[in-house]
Structure 1
Amino acid sequence: MADVRELMGRLGPTTVKFDTGRGGVPALTNQDIAAALGMVPAGLGRELLEALWWPESGARRSQRVRQAVIALVAPEYIRQQQALSLARTEFGIAKACMGWAGGAVTDAQRVERSRAEAKLEAVRALCWPNNTMEQLGALTAAVISEMAGAENCDACDGRRVQAAHDGSGVVQCECCDGTGLEALSGRKRAIAIGADKSAYQRFWQPVYEWMLERMRGAEREAAEAFNRALSRAA
């Protein structure tokens, strides 16, 4: 898959002519590569594919990358905030019902208040920081940088699977969670987004890992579409 992606480098400025054919064997021309790229569905995956493997194009299309990332992150952020608002409202109602109009506080009301409070704390713990959207530019740059410089996982050598401990076959690699790639340390990620390690682990790690997983998935799907289009052109 990486070799297919690397073909996009031929679309950048070069002094070497790559599309001359090779001993009578049909070869992909730059026009074939550009046409195949044009067949990749528009969206986040294609924008990341170009940003990572055709930097000249990615630099020109930075606004499209920004829009695609916002379209990815904003709905999840809004969903979390709506869930938090609902949990707060439910907790407020539970508190208001206790001793309503001067009446006695019942055991059922206490139970409901405790339940609503526990739900509120659970929802709050899963929410991203309030300033997530303000920090989205730094997060995006760090994620793309990690994607661009990712090394193969040492444990599985990029194969995404490893031998099962019981000898029954292969299973998803535990070290890389099946990505085939070595993850950056929390310290390096913290530096990349301009935070200290403790702040990254406490606040930003869930956002970062959520974005990294989905952006990698989108880029992988785009690369697969690019590969299929190249196969038809070959």
Structure 2
Amino acid sequence: MRREQNSGRGRSSAMHVGKLMARLNVKNVRFDVGSGGIPELTPQDVAAALGYVEDGIGREMLCQVWWPDGAKLTERHLLEILAEAQRLEWQRREDAMLNAMLAVAAHGNKAQMLYAKAHGDRWPRMAWMEQGIPVPAQGYTRVRRAVIDEMKGAGLCSGCNGRAYRSNDTGALCLCPLCLGSGHRPISERSRAEACGVSWMGYRKGWDRVYEWTMALCTESMRRASQQFHDGLGTVRVPN
């Protein structure tokens, strides 16, 4: 009898994380008995597994995408930690630019390639002075919200059905090449520019780098959080 129970739990926990977390929104539905009398995962099981996911962008994105009711209470926290992540990355790129300028001053043309790369990697400025007071650039706020909305609203990827992984020609699991692990349909650059409130040309002048970096951060964080969530359910981790 114990073997049947474990088997049933294994089938339930092998489900897509979104289907499992959707149980947190369901009311007055019994999940304690499945087909053949096999115990199924309950909303309490799902909530407990979510507790195994480390606090941060990944867990907040899981809630934003798959448990919107619960995410309403923590959306401000997600925006704050995304803002800090963007600030740190902006500073890293500015430091690289400063180092490249110093290298050019010291070594001349020998450092031109370093300078060109650092210059090409720069992001738009995060603030400007207005009557002696620093004013934050609203573009970064719009990018954060647009990335979250894209991951929440985009349909599931047709290549992996939202699982982020698919089998290659040898049968091994690998990151889905269509969605690059996001599990969602890719959105065009023009749509992203519109979501950020800028023209397509303006988007291509630097905001595209901010958007793609922020999207990659959220996607990878959510992938790790999904693995931790399934580990909390006692399932086999999807290989890296």
Q: Do they fold alike, i.e. is TM over 0.5?
A: yes
Which of 23, 48, 51 matches 2:64? 51
Partners of 1:9 and 1:181 in 2: CA distance: 17
How big is the shift at 1:163? 6.6
- Provide Cα deviations, 1:141-187, integer angstroms capped at 9, x if missing partner: 111111123334456766755877xxx88887655456554311111
Q: 1:3 to 1:41 in 2, by over 3 A?
A: same
The partner residue of 2:121 within 117, 126, 133 is: 126
| Structure 2 match to 1:18 | 30
Q: Retained in 2: the 8 A contact 1:160–1:176?
A: no
Specify the code of the residue in structure 2 equivalent to 1:125. G
Partner of 1:144: 148
2:145 and 2:204 mapped to 1: Cα distance? 18
- Residues 162 and 187 of structure 1: CA distance in aligned 2, closer, same or farther (over 3 Å): farther
Q: CA deviation at 1:197?
A: 0.9
Q: Does structure 1 residue 229 correspond to structure 2 residue 232? A: yes
Q: Which has the higher contact order (CA 8 A, sep 6+)?
A: 1
The whole-number CA distance in structure 2 between the counterparts of 1:57 and 1:230 is: 20
What is the total number of aligned residue pairs between the two structures? 210
- Higher Rg: 1
| TM-score of the superposed pair, with normalisation by structure 2 | 0.73
User: What is the alpha-carbon distance in structure 1 between the residues aligned to residue 18 and residue 159 of structure 2?
Assistant: 24
Structure 1 residues 5 and 156 mapped into 2: Cα distance closer, same or farther (>3 Å)? closer
CA RMSD of aligned residues (A): 3.0
**Are 1:6 and 2:19 an aligned pair?**
yes
Residues of 2 paired with 1:56 and 1:3: CA distance?
19
Are the equivalent residues in 2 in contact too, given 1:46–1:222 (CA < 8 A)? yes
Q: CA 1:116/1:136 → structure 2, altered by over 3 Å: closer, same or farther?
A: same
- Aligned match of 2:221: 218
Change (3 A) 1:45 1:201: same
Give me the whole-angstrom Cα distance separating, in 1, the residues matched to 2:171 and 2:47.
40
How far, CA to CA, are the matches of 2:89 and 2:228 in structure 1?
26
Indicate how the Cα distance of structure 1 residues 34 and 75 shifts in structure 2: closer, same or farther if over 3 A, else same.
same
- What is the TM-score when the length of structure 1 is the normalising length? 0.75
1:114 matched residue in structure 2: 109
Cα separation, partners in 2 of 1:3 and 1:161, compared to 1, 3 Å? closer
Counterpart residue type for residue 58 of structure 1: A
Which residue of the partner structure matches residue 133 of structure 2?
none
State the distance in 2 between where 1:113 and 1:49 align: 48
* CA shift for structure 1 position 211: 1.3
2:32·2:41 contact (CA, 8 Å) conserved in 1?
A: no
Q: Does 1:73 align with 2:86?
A: yes
Superposition pairs for residues 175-194 of structure 1, below 5 Å?
A: 175-177=178-180, 181-194=184-197
Q: Give the match's secondary structure for 1:231.
A: coil
3-state SS of 2:234 partner: helix
CA distance 1:169–1:59, change in 2 (3 Å): closer
CA distance in 1, matches of 2:20, 2:156: 20
